Chains A and B, each alone.
Chain A
């Protein structure tokens, strides 16, 4: 495929026709009720977030400005099922630079939380979650490491209170939400 044709195709991809039936006009209100995402409607598409985003620089798909617009337009299922929302590194550069004080990274987090409720949960997060419920920590520390701590004179690693951690996971609905995974 020639380079010209390829770039034309990319251009076409950007100009999709939106069907009103695919839009959920209430989506933006749903998002704006989530702590941290309250100011979603203030985004006026200046693009500072995308311009300053270190991930966007190397990704061909991750564009925070675009995701904010799609959210405002109510493209709920398209956004929530997209792999792209999982590319935010939460460095918070966009949050510090937004002239409208929109917490873009927090909007992304809100979208992810909703995506998880719909069953979209990347495998790596499922694993971290299960580690936390089993050990209290996000990584399972191998016995060899614990032994090495002793050998190098480090104090033993404090044991987590698993009963408490699991009670909190139940109370917050966390235990249930990680079971709904479908991807």
Chain B
């Protein structure tokens, strides 16, 4: 088996306000034998700037890829936006000689050159493909059954197919299997693969909040006790904004939203404190008490 050593690409949103995702990831990674190296001098993956300039998106992404190439290590990201962007640009530049020339022309000014020697994976891709389900199951000390949860993948882990090539976006199973490896049951629900709406919340608040409310409703309808996400933005939509949604629609959800490594960490025997569960806006202590 290949060595489990990656450059950890934190991105912008996680250090900004979703540190529980990072804290819990580092805990479970260590126990699974994944070595995480800090990504030096990284910058925004480029995704938020694609609407302004496609060229700056390509170039910011390529600069990060070059930094990783210099280190000779593959990248692991926690944010699907970063994973999707870096994976896509990596593939585009590897396959399109003309595009590579254009981007390398920009990068030349900073003494960098894209060569195409590394790979990029999101946390759940690393867990599913490189660590493997058996090893994860083997690390579980306190199986979480009879806990029932619902998953939400985050679009950019899966789409667009032609650039990402991981799992099946129409019927994603990897996160489900990772959840089931903890002993918890992962329930199906209506419109499971739908986007959370977060990317447009800065332009229009109403639509994303309606979308998130719809998903929370469908998840409650099937009787899930918690939701599991693998994206800082999706997490903000369902956890941070849950009380706003409740006020807006005069409804009560009270649905804890856990980062996947928090769920896995609980099953591995870490304490709620070690996994920063108290950072969640929707209180999960009652749920954890039942485990």
Cβ-defined contact, B110 with A168, below 8 A = yes
Which chain A residues lie closer than 8 Å to B55 at the CB level? 172-174
Cβ distance B107 to chain A, nearest Cβ, rounded Å: 7
The answer to whether the Cβ of A46 comes within 8 Å of any Cβ in the partner chain is no
When A and B form their complex, what is the total count of cross-chain residue pairs whose Cβ atoms lie within 8 Å?
182
Render B30-72 as a binary contact track against A, CB cut-off 8 A, 1 for contact: 0000000011111110001111111110011001000000000
Cβ-defined contact, B54 with A91, below 8 A = no
Cβ-defined contact, A165 with B43, below 8 A = yes
Which chain A residues lie closer than 8 Å to B214 at the CB level? 58
Which chain A residues lie closer than 8 Å to B159 at the CB level? 91-93, 95-96
Q: How far is the CA of A158 from the CA of B99 in the complex (A)?
A: 29
Render A167-178 as a binary contact track against B, CB cut-off 8 A, 1 for contact: 111011110011
Cβ-defined contact, B15 with A164, below 8 A = no
Cβ-defined contact, A169 with B56, below 8 A = yes
Q: How far is the CA of A12 from the CA of B169 in the complex (A)?
A: 38
Cβ-defined contact, A165 with B207, below 8 A = no
Cβ-defined contact, B49 with A132, below 8 A = yes
Cβ-defined contact, A168 with B200, below 8 A = no
Residue of B nearest to A127 (CB): B202
Which chain B residues lie closer than 8 Å to A16 at the CB level? none
The answer to whether the Cβ of B269 comes within 8 Å of any Cβ in the partner chain is no
Which chain A residues lie closer than 8 Å to B105 at the CB level? 171
Interface hits, A125-183 → B, CB 8 Å: 125, 128-129, 132, 136-139, 141, 145, 148-149, 152, 154-155, 157-161, 163-165, 167-169, 171-174, 177-178
Which chain B residues lie closer than 8 Å to A136 at the CB level? 42-44
Interface hits, B184-205 → A, CB 8 Å: 191, 193-195, 197-200, 202-204
Cβ-defined contact, B56 with A174, below 8 A = yes
Residue of B nearest to A115 (CB): B51
Which among B49, B107, B170 has the highest number of chain A CB atoms within 10 Å?
A: B49
The answer to whether the Cβ of A47 comes within 8 Å of any Cβ in the partner chain is no
Which chain A residues lie closer than 8 Å to B50 at the CB level? 90, 109
Cβ distance A170 to chain B, nearest Cβ, rounded Å: 8
Interface hits, A16-70 → B, CB 8 Å: 34-36, 54-55, 57-59
Cβ-defined contact, B41 with A160, below 8 A = yes
Cβ distance B85 to chain A, nearest Cβ, rounded Å: 10
Cβ distance B37 to chain A, nearest Cβ, rounded Å: 10
Which chain B residues lie closer than 8 Å to A91 at the CB level? 155, 159, 195, 199
Residue of A nearest to B197 (CB): A89
The answer to whether the Cβ of B10 comes within 8 Å of any Cβ in the partner chain is yes
Which chain B residues lie closer than 8 Å to A169 at the CB level? 56
Cβ-defined contact, B22 with A154, below 8 A = yes
Cβ-defined contact, A168 with B15, below 8 A = no
Q: How far is the CA of A90 from the CA of B13 in the complex (A)?
A: 17
Which chain A residues lie closer than 8 Å to B74 at the CB level? none
Cβ-defined contact, A171 with B106, below 8 A = yes
Which chain A residues lie closer than 8 Å to B51 at the CB level? 86, 109, 112-113, 116, 125
Which chain A residues lie closer than 8 Å to B17 at the CB level? 139, 145
Cβ-defined contact, B48 with A128, below 8 A = yes
Residue of B nearest to A138 (CB): B12
Cβ-defined contact, A139 with B12, below 8 A = yes
The answer to whether the Cβ of A73 comes within 8 Å of any Cβ in the partner chain is no
Given A87-B204, A168-B63, A34:B197 Cβ within 8 A = no
Render B1-31 as a binary contact track against A, CB cut-off 8 A, 1 for contact: 0000000001111011101001100100000
Cβ-defined contact, B41 with A174, below 8 A = no
Cβ-defined contact, A116 with B53, below 8 A = yes
Q: What are the 9 A-B residue pairs with the smallest beta carbon separation, nearest first?
A: A124-B202, A91-B195, A92-B159, A136-B43, A174-B56, A91-B155, A139-B16, A164-B110, A137-B12
New A-B pairs, 5, CB < 8 Å, besides A89-B198, A89-B208, A92-B159? A88-B200, A91-B195, A149-B15, A154-B22, A174-B52
Q: Sample 13 A-B pairs with CB under 8 A, ordered by A number.
A: A54-B211, A92-B160, A96-B160, A122-B203, A125-B51, A136-B44, A137-B12, A157-B10, A158-B39, A160-B41, A167-B110, A168-B60, A172-B55
